[in-house]
Amino acid sequence: MAEALTSEQIENVLHGIKIPPQPQILVDLQIEQIMPNPDLDQIAKLIRRDVGLTGTMLKVVNSPFYGLTNKITSVSQAVSLIGLDSVINIINGVSIKSEMSDETITYMNRFWDTANDIAMIATNVAQQVGYQKPDLAYLLGLFHNAGVPLLMNRFEHYLDVVEKSYQDSPERIIDVENTLLKTNHAVVGYYIAKSWNLPKILCDAIAEHHNCKRYFVDQHSIDSEAKTLLAILKISEHVCGSFKILGNQEIDYEWEIIGDEILTHLGLGDYDLEQLQANAEEMGISAKNYAF
């Protein structure tokens, strides 16, 4: 973010919103991560303590994204296959989900499924354009909208606000939230990521992910890793149909403003975008799957 907020400003932004604490299992894994030689057996043992986490890990590894011919049946196999960084990415997503009420989780199932879809497409895009940290792109895709369910818990009419935000407007999506709620999901997501000790570049990208016009259209931002991460996220959101799932819109108005510049920044063209959409459909990911 451009400058640090004071404690009072942070309190105003987060008024009535509880930022979930960093789960202990994530703390334990981060400690293991900084060791010179992380112990994969110890990591698998930590995961096996949580039945839900074990099931999620196996589900992800056996998904079409990895395209394995043989089914993985143990956590140890899964950890060895996808590596520690990906393990922590998955746990981040599951942990924020666990902070929601049962009713909210049920209602938001499609939201979380979409976050996973965006994360997987972001990994594919990162690899295609030669971005050297695909796990960071995955984590941004998974975590960029983490503020949405927290605001949904805080404001009964939040989904109506989100739908209004995605309608054709010269304003940024977050401007509508700022006007009606005095906060927005990007800044709440930023503080979640920051409180969980996620990399600074990731926290900043979460804060800026609906402020892309100034990065790609206004030409005030030079090329940077953060700009590339945002471009990867935006093309992944577009392919997965966030505008339809969250905003209930037939047109991705945000993409219409920044799409051409994002493709140019990533060295992609319309044909590449069509291929990404086709590949996503083969994986069962498509905005076409969501009817009004």
Domains of the chain are 18-99 (no CATH), 100-292 (1.10.3210.10)
Separation CA 142–CA 30 (nearest Å): 18
* Token pair recorded at residue 59: 């589900």
Ramachandran class of 83: left when φ > 0, alpha when ψ lies in -120 to 50, beta otherwise: left
| Residue 67 tokens, joined | 């395209």
Half-sphere exposure of 264 (CA within 13 A, CB side): 8
Among 153, 152, 213, CA closest to 163: 152
Q: Kind and range of the H or E element at 96?
A: helix 75-98
Residue closest to 196 by CA, chosen among 19, 56, 46: 19
Rounded CA separation 234/89 (Å): 19
pLDDT of residue 77: 83
pLDDT for res 5: 46
Q: Which two tokens stand for residue 264?
A: 């140019």
Among candidates 232, 279, 289, which has minimal Cα distance to 67? 279
Q: Tens place of pLDDT for every residue, the chain, 292 residues? A: 334 445 555 555 556 555 555 567 767 777 777 778 878 888 888 887 766 677 777 777 777 767 777 778 788 888 888 777 777 777 766 666 665 555 555 556 667 778 888 988 998 999 999 998 888 898 898 889 988 888 887 888 888 998 899 987 767 889 999 999 888 999 888 988 887 777 889 999 999 999 988 888 876 667 789 999 999 999 999 999 888 888 888 889 999 999 999 999 999 999 999 999 998 888 877 666 554 3
Instruction: Look up the pTM and report it.
Output: 0.73
For tokens 């805080």, the residue is 154
Q: What is the pLDDT of residue 36?
A: 80
Angle at 175 between CA 181 and CA 114, to 5 degrees: 85
Residues in the chain, overall count: 292
The pair of three-digit structure tokens given for residue 241, joined into one six-digit string: 């149909």
Question: Could you tell me which of 207, 208, 165 has the C-alpha nearest to residue 188?
Answer: 207
